[in-house]
Structure 1
């Protein structure tokens, strides 16, 4: 299953400048995803990180993995949609994060995330980010699902 930006925006609440997924190449609902983030010099964070040597912040690479995880975890489940204003999907834990090389403007970040456990309240994932087939980062992620009161 593939998703374009319109389909991604229908499934995630994030918008510019925090929407960090541009395309989904592969998705197995409830199991795994391969998504793309095209890194442009026009990203707002490059103005301050760093003006003389632009590098994508590692925390945003982790956030991109978490957004990718939200896309595949509940696909086809009518009870949970991360874009629903009544549902909150929070990144609550990051373990074993490693950043192996800088991500710079012009890179295409390939995000590969696999579910280790998905439940109604807590989900655990293993994620990797690659550029040109080489791992630039990986981490174990934990996300929580909460129902919001209006």
Structure 2
């Protein structure tokens, strides 16, 4: 198990962008189970007016994707470290295919992400995963791609 402080040591994200709270299980090179507690104090709920229906407090799908992707990033880093290496450069979420939403998460829910490795290379990772709230599966991703890019490529400005 990895606690929040340990996650901040392996992922560059910080509040309010860090979207996983704890890793419950990890099998480097194979799978990870991570959780994110959704609270009413999330920045995405700031400014909502009183009297809105409960559906207004659904955690945004884009943040579910981000949270699932961060679980995958943690798996990639932990897998590389277990093999005596590190991904080279900054991890970048590249793409997700076959993403389906079958429900939502609300304040008070704990999302559980289960991510499985399809392929790990030094500069890329392909994974698939699911997000659950209790016994309800709320999201599925058929595949997601992440790449590692050198800082010099990310910091470059527009070219002429």
Query: Structure 1-normalised TM-score?
Result: 0.89
Task: Give the one of 98, 105, 108 matched to 1:96.
Answer: 98
Q: Which runs of 5+ in 1 are unaligned?
A: none
In 1: Cα distance, 2:145 partner to 2:123 partner: 11
Higher Cα radius of gyration = 2
Root-mean-square deviation (Å) = 1.9
The separation in 1 between residues aligned to 2:58 and 2:69, in whole angstroms, is 20
Counterpart selection for 1:115 from 101, 114, 117: 117
State the partner residue of 2:128: 126
1:138 has 2:144 as partner? no
Using the size of structure 2 for normalisation, the TM-score is 0.84
Give 4+ residue runs of structure 1 displaced > 4 Å after superposition: 48-51
1:80 and 2:86 matched: yes
Residue-pair matches, total: 145
**Equivalent position of 2:158 in the other structure:** none
Question: What's the CA shift string for 1:17-44, capped at 9, x where partnerless?
Answer: 1101101000011211000100000000
Structure 2: stretches of 5+ with no match in the other structure: 156-160
**1:96-125 deviation line (CA, Å, top 9, x unaligned):** 011111211110000000010111122111
User: 1-side partners of 2:139 and 2:97: how far apart?
Assistant: 12
Seen in structure 2, the aligned counterparts of structure 1 residues 50 and 116 have a Cα distance that, compared at 3 Å, is: farther
